[in-house]
Structure 1
């Protein structure tokens, strides 16, 4: 009788472990597919804000609640097999233009504090960080994005506007390397 009770107890314990593991896998899948995802920065297009090989947490759920805003750093599907990370410059209905290294949205100058260091260096060396372009009117349902490293970024200046439907989420936390943990602005 004790042998049967012991076998039943061991069987129940295994069943509990299997259920706990299944729940953990299901929760991980839901969190990864609906809420958050890791992303590895590939290249220097977002320097000085983000550096090559840094790892960020992308919040996916945020854009179910609201649309991206200028200044947000987003991850989007650039091609079927490649995601990009860039900064939102303008949204549908905005008119984007750069003249003399100054960004204008709807003919209003925009301060880009994340570029101050690069702009000072470009000015000292006698070149513009961002070449003149525009005006470009952004269609509704689209975003105009650029990398912070304007001289080394494949962005809306080359690939065109980005559909809201292709946005994966917003980069909210840099978590690796650990000594560089921060929240990008």
Structure 2
């Protein structure tokens, strides 16, 4: 298992990520981690072996409903909290210690906020949240379930509602959600 995948697994189980039995268990029985495994392998593969990993990624896509293309840039410590109907634009840029839940959409837009989102470190995108357009999401941001975000969000904030409203905090609102955080 390569280092980046181990960092992703660390976000699930902490130091147990070094145990072979835990690696095997999460690969076989945790659909979100299984998707991450094939995602990382396809992104790092040479042209010769990429087809094999893309077939595995496609199989996981049909099985889980997750659509995160291997070209999407996601930092280490990626965690799919609950799988199902997750869609991420291939041009999105996402930092480290990123959580995403079922029903989330990170996509592009045209018009006033043309482009795709850039998301910072230690961000949680909860169930059925939508982030669209050329927006910047700061570090330590919690996107609440069902929130609609088409505007920039500063560091240490929570976004709730549709339309989204920003609630600023003095400290990180994601501390209790980002378990086994990478430094």
* TM-score, normalization by structure 2: 0.24
Greater relative contact order, per chain length (Cα 8 Å cut-off, separation 6+): 1
* TM-score, normalization by structure 1: 0.24
The structure that has the greater radius of gyration is 1
